[in-house]
């Protein structure tokens, strides 16, 4: 039987519970009424392309657990699609909710189709990158049709959400030139668009032809992740005029997309000092009318290359506590190289810890239940229970078995001085 709705938002506005909504309801402690109300209003998105048949849908937004995304993809220097596929499998194994393919070399469409066919996770892409790879043209020579043909290809392939830097207008670029930033533009998609706009003397094609973008996305229910081309790449640049100028435009475009029943997320910074994170979350929610917020980190200091999964986890936990809905993982390799498999796992775990920490702080129901199970296991020296409850059971077991005590009920940190063992009979 043919569906009588176009997008998840359209279905919610018609009071229809879709199969994807049923999947979300199994994962979250919310009612059908709450889900319908928030999807209809745009405060929750369920990225689910009509052509992505094997998808395990996830909800992102108000009142839901914080989700995490894993970036992967090949470059010209490291072009192993099989290696990136192993990273995608790691994302599934270690509890990510989405994967973004950021490939900028090789047969990207073939890899994209394989990801869609084999992974149950939500898949996102950045068509701006792929336009250069697909057409093999210089940036100046890309046509408006070239940009949109790539979007149409990604939508037809089954991509669930696409990052589009539609708020990066000439007005915002003018603001950037006067801002005195230390790091200018750090968004790859943003830099490509600015180069195109400056060399051709034209406005952002995705802003000018936003209706065309909405038509493509509505036809296949592709969620638009409105990209932050002017996100700060240094804590010095955080919350400056260009960032806010773009955010205001993204809020205007969000309302326009909702009028066409198109789902929208907003992407956010970037590099933000700890004391500005709450303000940034509140600004986004206010200016973008409660649309789900997708943040990269944010990284709270600039001096930790090799440890940026930690700086991002600190910022991510704070961001989630204050309203961020979707965290993009950051690996130890950020700013340095394409991440290895070990880097990917470290990034996933750091992001998951940040998301879980944020959920406890913002009062998501049952979010602390697993912590209580762990605490009971620790309080009874139940090592098996601790391993089974741990976010990374493999690593917990590995650490335990690498240094076994003379008495198996304690560990080599305390031994006979173990407080729990000493108190188990007295208390």
Pairwise CA distance, residues 68 & 164, whole Å = 19
Domain endpoint, select from 361, 386, 412? 361
| pLDDT recorded at residue 45 | 98
Pairwise CA distance, residues 222 & 212, whole Å = 13
Q: 385 and 305 share a domain?
A: no
| 193: pLDDT strictly greater than 50 | yes
Q: Which two tokens stand for residue 20?
A: 């994807």
In a domain, 28, yes or no: no
193 contacts 204 by C-beta, under 8 angstroms: yes
In a domain, 372, yes or no: no
- Give the dihedral sign, CA 269/274/280/281: positive
Domain endpoint, select from 327, 361, 395? 361
Pairwise CA distance, residues 334 & 316, whole Å = 15
The gap between the terminal CA atoms of the chain, to the nearest Å, is 63
Q: 227 and 256 share a domain?
A: yes
Count of all residues that appear for the chain in the document: 427
| pLDDT recorded at residue 232 | 97
Q: Are strands 161-164 and 223-226 parallel, antiparallel or unpaired?
A: parallel
| 105: pLDDT strictly greater than 70 | yes
In a domain, 234, yes or no: yes
pLDDT digits (tens, 9 = 90+) for 87-98: 999 999 999 999
pLDDT digits (tens, 9 = 90+) for 211-225: 999 999 999 999 999
Q: 67 and 183 share a domain?
A: yes
Residue indicated by tokens 């996102």: 124
Report whether 267 belongs to an annotated binding site. yes
Domain endpoint, select from 334, 361, 388? 361
Of 227, 225, 242, the C-alpha closest to 181 is: 242
Rounding to the nearest 10 degrees, give the CA dihedral for residues 184, 188, 190, 195: 80
| 3: pLDDT strictly greater than 80 | no
Report whether 411 belongs to an annotated binding site. yes
| Res. 408 pLDDT band, cuts 50 70 90 | confident
Report whether 415 belongs to an annotated binding site. no
Report whether 253 belongs to an annotated binding site. no
Q: 248 and 311 share a domain?
A: yes
Q: What are phi and psi of 220, to 5 degrees?
A: -120, 10
291 contacts 60 by C-beta, under 8 angstroms: no
| pLDDT recorded at residue 407 | 86
pLDDT digits (tens, 9 = 90+) for 227-282: 999 999 999 999 999 999 999 999 999 999 999 999 999 999 999 999 999 999 99
| Res. 1 pLDDT band, cuts 50 70 90 | very low
Q: 258 and 403 share a domain?
A: no
In a domain, 201, yes or no: yes
| 189: pLDDT strictly greater than 90 | yes
Report whether 427 belongs to an annotated binding site. no
Report whether 307 belongs to an annotated binding site. no
The count of domains in the chain is 2
Report whether 167 belongs to an annotated binding site. no
Report whether 251 belongs to an annotated binding site. no
Report whether 231 belongs to an annotated binding site. yes
In a domain, 4, yes or no: no
| 50: pLDDT strictly greater than 60 | yes
| 425: pLDDT strictly greater than 90 | no
Report whether 165 belongs to an annotated binding site. yes
In a domain, 19, yes or no: no
Average pLDDT, the chain: 96
Q: 283 and 318 share a domain?
A: yes
| Res. 132 pLDDT band, cuts 50 70 90 | very high
Q: 273 and 391 share a domain?
A: no
| Res. 382 pLDDT band, cuts 50 70 90 | very high
pLDDT digits (tens, 9 = 90+) for 345-357: 999 999 999 999 9
Q: 346 and 393 share a domain?
A: no
Distances (CA, A) of 5 to 225, 250, 261: 21, 26, 10
Percentage of the chain with pLDDT > 90? 95
Q: How many CB atoms lie within 10 A of CB 217?
A: 25
* Domain limits for position 412: 377-423
| Res. 126 pLDDT band, cuts 50 70 90 | very high
Report whether 294 belongs to an annotated binding site. yes
| Res. 339 pLDDT band, cuts 50 70 90 | very high
Q: 274 and 407 share a domain?
A: no
In a domain, 295, yes or no: yes
Q: 258 and 339 share a domain?
A: yes
Domain of 347, CATH number, reads 3.20.20.540
389 contacts 377 by C-beta, under 8 angstroms: yes
Report whether 189 belongs to an annotated binding site. yes
Q: What is the mean pLDDT of residues 167-190?
A: 96
Chain-centre distance for alpha carbon 274 = 20
Rg of the chain taking only CA atoms, in angstroms: 22
Q: 104 and 75 share a domain?
A: yes
315 contacts 57 by C-beta, under 8 angstroms: no
Q: 318 and 396 share a domain?
A: no
In a domain, 225, yes or no: yes
| pLDDT recorded at residue 149 | 98
């Amino acid at each position: 039987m043919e569906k009588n709705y176009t997008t998840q938002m359209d279905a919610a506005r018609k009071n229809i519970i879709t199969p994807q909504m049923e999947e979300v309801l199994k994962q979250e402690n919310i009612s059908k009424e709450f889900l319908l109300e928030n999807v209809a209003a745009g405060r929750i998105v369920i990225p689910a392309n009509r052509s992505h048949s094997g998808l395990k849908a996830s909800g992102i937004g108000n009142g839901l657990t914080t989700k995490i995304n894993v970036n992967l993809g090949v470059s010209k220097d490291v072009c192993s699609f099989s290696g990136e596929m192993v990273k995608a499998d790691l994302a599934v194994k270690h509890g990510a909710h989405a994967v973004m393919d950021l490939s900028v070399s090789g047969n990207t469409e073939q890899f994209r189709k394989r990801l869609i066919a084999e992974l149950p996770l939500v898949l996102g892409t950045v068509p701006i990158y792929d336009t250069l790879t697909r057409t093999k043209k210089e940036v100046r020579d890309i046509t408006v049709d070239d940009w949109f043909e790539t979007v149409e290809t990604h939508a037809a392939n089954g991509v669930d959400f696409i990052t589009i830097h539609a708020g990066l207008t000439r007005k915002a670029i003018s603001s950037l030139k006067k801002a005195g930033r230390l790091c200018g533009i750090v968004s790859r998609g943003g830099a490509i668009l600015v180069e195109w706009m400056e060399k051709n003397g034209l406005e952002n094609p995705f802003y000018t032809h936003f209706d065309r973008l909405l038509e493509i996305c509505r036809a296949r229910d592709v969620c638009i992740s409105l990209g932050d081309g002017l996100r700060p790449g240094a804590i010095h640049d955080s919350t400056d005029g260009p960032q806010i100028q773009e955010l205001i435009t993204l809020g205007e475009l969000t309302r326009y997309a909702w009028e066409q029943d198109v789902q929208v997320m907003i992407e956010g910074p970037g590099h933000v000092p700890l004391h500005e994170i709450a303000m940034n979350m509140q600004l986004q929610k206010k200016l973008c009318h409660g649309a789900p917020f997708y943040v990269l980190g944010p990284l709270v200091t600039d001096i930790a290359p090799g440890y940026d999964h930690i700086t991002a986890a600190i910022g991510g936990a704070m961001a989630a506590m204050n309203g961020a809905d979707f965290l993009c993982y950051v690996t130890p390799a950020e700013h340095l190289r394409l991440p290895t498999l070990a880097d990917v796992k470290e990034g996933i775990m750091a992001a998951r810890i940040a998301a879980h920490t944020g959920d406890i702080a913002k009062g998501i129901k049952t979010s602390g239940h697993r912590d209580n199970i762990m605490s009971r296991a620790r309080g009874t020296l139940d090592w098996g229970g601790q391993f089974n409850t741990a976010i990374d059971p493999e690593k917990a077991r590995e650490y335990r078995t690498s240094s076994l005590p003379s008495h198996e009920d304690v560990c080599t940190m305390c031994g006979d001085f173990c407080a729990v063992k000493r108190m188990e009979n007295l208390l």
